[in-house]
Amino acid sequence: MKGFRLVAVTTHLNYSLNNLTHTIMQSTTVDKSTAKKEDTNFKLFNQLQSYEHEQIVICSEPSVGLKAIIAIHNTTLGPALGGTRMWPYNNEEEAIRDVLRLSRGMTYKAAISGLNLGGGKAVIIGDPRADKTEELFRAFGRFVDSLGGRYITAEDVGIDVQDMEWVNSETKYVTGIPKSLGGSGDPSPVTAYGVYMGIKACCKKAYDNDSVNGRKIAVQGAGHVSSYLCKLLAEEGAELFISDIYEDKVEELANEVNATVVDPDDIYGLDVDIFSPCALGGIVNDDTLDHFNCDIIAGGANNVLDEEDKHGQMLMDRGIIYAPDYVINAGGLINVASELEGYNPDRAHQKASKIYDTILDILEYSEENDTPTFVSSNILAEQRINNVGRIHRIYSSKSEFSGHIGEMYRGKQ
Ligand code: NAD
């Protein structure tokens, strides 16, 4: 480990009886003699405190060019699980903002999905096409390992299975590894199955009948998630319209599922029952919103609403049911989380099928409380975190003494 540098900034969250207010005990390995006097405007701490992050770990190993940041948002429900993103960020602040935003999203995703996991994420600053080496990922793996399971990593944008195999050489706290190594492989089939169940839940709410038989569905994207999803929808008798920016891709899928190919720009205005975004984020925006001619928007893509508050409310005002993206596409997370228990595809599918009930609960809550669906899912996720947080105040045989007392206690065993 010689030459490794670790700067850790930690805040511990102690849940009060009624809410997520917390006391902050900060510790840092930065040399205190050189630290400046407290600067209350220090941006990093403002960022951490504003979204109640627990910890951020800056990982540096110049000999292999590693610059990585691990953010742990909340571990009330369990260890923080979330992928590692490799991206050529323009500056450090951009990378920190991204990892804080993404890790927080994982807390909500795990909580609403009923998983005993917290939220975390990592970013590696670098170009995934030029900067990948075995040594870089193994160095990153050692930092992940140093957190002793508080953070469990997986693949995200710019990372592939090979990279995770290298990480796995240095730590067991990694998921999304190949099936041959006991992992779960490609998460897309489970993601698609969860999206399919979520679409059925929306149909139940809109039409009091959860079958997609005879429903007209516009699917944006002909990639991994979309391909598996379209097969499930077609099997049940849906009439599909598909678009992709790659003609060969969309033609191939359309032939397979007997769908109509649509120009990428024309997909928004189709007169359909359901619009299923399975390509990009930000597709519900000021330009597209008026064009939607559907009852339901429900798909696998991340960050579907360009501006959550504004466009979530506008969809509600237009009477369009919106299935929150991080709820309906949680099958991928459910899949990698299953690796922690020894991967079993049937169990992963069975867990993903619960997305049906979760989406229905959110839609009911929204109707009763007159709130946009993404607001409802955030509230329900926070309720679960708060409720479990309260229970964790109770000492049990699973509780651990820590520090000096812990050593003494363990010595008596
Ligand atoms: P993918 O790259 O396999 O497929 C995306 C497809 O969208 C590609 O075929 C691409 O050509 C197409 N596309 C891009 N721009 C388009 C446009 N303007 N119009 C139409 N098509 C366009 O990706 P994927 O793994 O299928 O993921 C799709 C979405 O689902 C992404 O937003 C991803 O973040 C999200 N997601 C995926 C998973 C998973 O398990 N793969 C899990 C959770 C969320």
The string of pLDDT tens digits covering residues 103-128 is 999 999 999 999 999 999 999 999 99
208 alpha carbon – ligand 1 mean position (Å): 30
The rounded distance, in Å, linking the Cα atoms of 115 and 134 is: 32
Q: Using pLDDT thresholds of 50, 70 and 90, give the confidence band for residue 164.
A: very high
334 alpha carbon – ligand 1 mean position (Å): 18
Helix (H, G, I), strand (E, B) or coil at 27: strand
Q: How many CB atoms lie within 10 A of CB 16?
A: 13
Locate the ligand 1 atom nearest the alpha carbon of residue 280 and give its number. 32
Identify the burial level of 361 via C-beta atoms within 10 angstroms of its C-beta, where 0-12 means exposed, 13-18 middle and 19 or more buried. Answer: middle
Write the CATH number of the domain with boundaries 5-176.
3.40.50.10860
Reduced to 3 DSSP states, what percent helix, strand and coil does the chain have, rounded to the nearest 5? 45, 15, 40
279 alpha carbon – ligand 1 mean position (Å): 3
Residue of 36, 43, 109, 121 marked catalytic: 121
Q: Which residues does ligand 1 sit against, CB inside 6 Å?
A: 187-188, 191, 220-226, 243-246, 249, 264, 278-281, 300-302, 329, 332
282 alpha carbon – ligand 1 mean position (Å): 12
pLDDT at 401 over 90: no
pTM: 0.85
Closest residue to atom 30 of ligand 1, CA basis: 301
Within 124-187, residue ranges assigned H as helices are 134-146, 161-168
234 membership: H or E segment, kind and range: helix 224-235
Asked whether 371 and 365 are in contact (CB, 8 A), the reply is yes
Closest residue to atom 41 of ligand 1, CA basis: 188
Asked whether 241 and 217 are in contact (CB, 8 A), the reply is yes
DSSP 8-state code for residue 341: T
Domain(s) of CATH 3.40.50.10860: residues in the chain: 5-176
For 182: left if phi > 0, alpha if psi spans -120 to 50, otherwise beta; the answer is left
Look up residue 235 and give its two tokens.
């099997």
Closest residue to atom 31 of ligand 1, CA basis: 301
Locate the ligand 1 atom nearest the alpha carbon of residue 192 and give its number. 40
Domain(s) of CATH 3.40.50.720: residues in the chain: 188-385
Asked about 132 being catalytic, the answer comes back as no
What is the CATH class of 188-385? alpha beta
62 membership: H or E segment, kind and range: none
What are 363-391's pLDDT values in tens digits?
A: 999 999 999 999 999 999 999 999 999 99
Q: How many CB atoms lie within 10 A of CB 40?
A: 6
